[in-house]
Amino acid sequence: MRGLEEAWEAVWAACQRWAATHKLEYAPEKTTAVFAPSWRRGKKMAKRGPRLKIGGTTIRTEESMKYLGVIIDRGLSWREHARHAARNIMTSAQKIRGIAGRTWGTEPRILREIFDGAIRPALMYGAEIWGEKAEDPIIRRHLRAAQRAFLLGVTRAYRTTSNVALEVLAGCTPPHFEAAARHANWRERGTAEFEGKAVFAEGPHPAEPERKWEELPAETIPGTSFWTDASQGDGGTAIGIVKTEGGETKETRGLRLQDGYPTHMAELYALGIAIKSVAGQRGGNFNFVTDSRVALDMLTKRKGGAAHAILKEVERIETEGATVKLWWSSDRNRGIAEADRIAKRARENPEEFPEDHAPITGRMIKKEATRVAMAKWQQEWDQGDKGRATHEIIGTVDRRLRGWSHRAVCLLTGHGPFRGYLRRFNLTETTGECVCSTGAQDTAKHVMEDCEEQGRMEARGRWRRRQEAMGGPVPFKVTAQTSEEEVRNFNKFTEEVRMEEELEA
């Protein structure tokens, strides 16, 4: 503990020097410290926090503190932050009740836009840091409670509907999975594999003309030429590079890249490899040719860290006295065709070519983090014990808001004006049996599949005939291929079929 106090004295001395240089002073009464205790074999190493001083004033120690809108607690559990954020969001959620009811008010799609544009960003604020603990049961409960009121407004479901079913119907990724994805995204951007960012200050002055690429006018051009191409398929991704001088091939090179690497990024990477190969060669004319307009546009417009780094290399080569030109040519060109053959051979015969690891982009990182979040969501939906009635019809999760009506949501969730449901929650004195006299409980599933009440049978028959006519599955199942027409058909069925209060009337 004494070592930590001595370390603070050195830090404080540096802070004082900085403040004196900038003619500033620290306010001890506004300074707070939070300590995360060390643990060894399950035992806390320190019985007390260190005593830190600013001048002669002891800094007060707190269990938690707010810094830049994020509450940091002593154990870095982030539970206090989740509780605080959820409370603020739930306060805003109360206003939703005044603009949307089950059958009236603001449309679900507009509520979803409000949720995505204003509410979820507030709930996810700082998730890049605290998202590592997002799947903690307490944090998960706070996050789900915060968005529940909005999901009820978006889906117009009964308040007894489970959170997991609301998330699937609204097409909203569970907040704890999204927070974990944001943390993973942020963490991966700090690794050496990330391409980095384009630094504006290192780019050309806005008044300078933008670098352009041109279409190659002929097969042979003066100077040294590098022809590049990429190939992607089931065997992975690879690049090919051909170096020519005066129309004669001087060198060829093939490289395998990591599986699934995007073709346009592979094309850009091939250009980068070719450009870096001429570094240090003073003077001369160098031509770099590709059949990818996308890669050339990314390079000349500095789209991304990889393009920024390559263009800096081009500028350095030109500073050394060389001339660099960027060309586009179709794959009918001999140089491009040869580079393409090398790339395909490297992809199809990986044992014959070396492997290289190209930098990953922010889009690739985000895509992978989203994929993991969706996989976890699907697993939770498949293995959970809540929302099983909804799971029977909607087995696959996605982020689409399909436009279910209130009555459709009642049938999809099983929570609605059905005798069995009302009996389950002690809201009726009946036995919960259906009026069709079969003795079955009046549930959503019974209405959609088995009820023998005449009006329900006729509505069910019309619904199924329409479903078959449009090529949809019978019995009804929602998949990624389910069309808007099928959703409208189901909504129409829910309007035609009579429910509890209508049967009694």
The tens digit of pLDDT for each residue in 396-437 reads 999 999 999 999 999 999 999 999 998 988 888 888 899 888
**Mean pLDDT across the stretch 181-206?**
82
Q: State yes or no: pLDDT of 473 exceeds 70.
A: yes
Contacts of residue 230, defined as CB under 8 A and 6 or more positions apart, other chains included, come to 237, 238, 239, 240, 263, 266, 267, 269, 270, 292, 343
Q: Do 354 and 496 share a domain, yes or no? A: no
Closest CA to 248 of 227, 274, 270: 227
Max CA distance (Å), the chain: 95
Average pLDDT, the chain: 89
**Mean pLDDT across the stretch 3-22?**
87
Q: Do 211 and 328 share a domain, yes or no? A: yes
Instruction: Name 66's bridge partners.
Output: 71
pLDDT score recorded for residue 99: 67
Q: Do 222 and 344 share a domain, yes or no? A: yes
Domain enclosing residue 348, as ranges? 200-359
pLDDT score recorded for residue 500: 66
pLDDT score recorded for residue 412: 96
Residue 26 token pair: 């620290």
Closest CA to 404 of 209, 29, 154, 198: 154
Instruction: Name 5's bridge partners.
Output: none
Contacts of residue 96, defined as CB under 8 A and 6 or more positions apart, other chains included, come to 111, 149, 150, 153
CATH number at residue 244: 3.30.420.10
Closest CA to 489 of 498, 468, 500, 413: 468
Q: Do 332 and 208 share a domain, yes or no? A: yes
Q: State yes or no: pLDDT of 193 exceeds 80.
A: yes
pLDDT above 90: percentage of residues in the chain: 60
Contacts of residue 7, defined as CB under 8 A and 6 or more positions apart, other chains included, come to none
Lowest model confidence (mean pLDDT) among 4-18, 138-152, 357-371: 4-18
Q: Do 187 and 219 share a domain, yes or no? A: no
**Mean pLDDT across the stretch 360-384?**
94
**Mean pLDDT across the stretch 179-202?**
86
Decide if 268 is inside a domain: yes
Contacts of residue 305, defined as CB under 8 A and 6 or more positions apart, other chains included, come to 194, 195, 196, 197, 198, 359, 361
pLDDT per residue as tens digits for the range 277-313: 987 777 789 999 999 999 999 999 888 889 999 999 9
Q: Do 248 and 393 share a domain, yes or no? A: no
Under the banding of pLDDT at 50, 70 and 90, the label for residue 345 is: very high
Q: Do 161 and 252 share a domain, yes or no? A: no
Q: Do 219 and 265 share a domain, yes or no? A: yes
pLDDT per residue as tens digits for the range 313-323: 998 999 888 99
Cα 60 to Cα 15, 28, 29, 430: the distances in Å are 18, 9, 8, 63
pLDDT score recorded for residue 503: 52
Lowest model confidence (mean pLDDT) among 91-100, 118-127, 129-138, 481-490: 91-100
pLDDT score recorded for residue 505: 43
Decide if 311 is inside a domain: yes
Reported pTM = 0.84
Decide if 72 is inside a domain: no
b/e sequence 458-495, b meaning 16+ C-beta within 10 Å? ebbeebbebbeeeebeeebebeeebeeebbebbbbbbe
Neighbours of 259 (CB within 10 A): 10
Q: Do 385 and 470 share a domain, yes or no? A: no
pLDDT score recorded for residue 366: 93
Q: Do 48 and 85 share a domain, yes or no? A: no
* Single-letter code of the amino acid located at 415: H
Contacts of residue 376, defined as CB under 8 A and 6 or more positions apart, other chains included, come to 177, 180
pLDDT score recorded for residue 502: 55
Please state whether the peptide bond connecting residue 475 to the residue before it is cis, i.e. omega within 30 degrees of 0. Answer: yes
Q: State yes or no: pLDDT of 148 exceeds 50.
A: yes
pLDDT score recorded for residue 29: 83
Cα torsion 421, 422, 425, 428: sign: negative
Q: How many domains does the chain have?
A: 4
Q: Do 85 and 174 share a domain, yes or no? A: yes
Q: State yes or no: pLDDT of 501 exceeds 80.
A: no
Q: State yes or no: pLDDT of 252 exceeds 60.
A: yes
Under the banding of pLDDT at 50, 70 and 90, the label for residue 164 is: very high
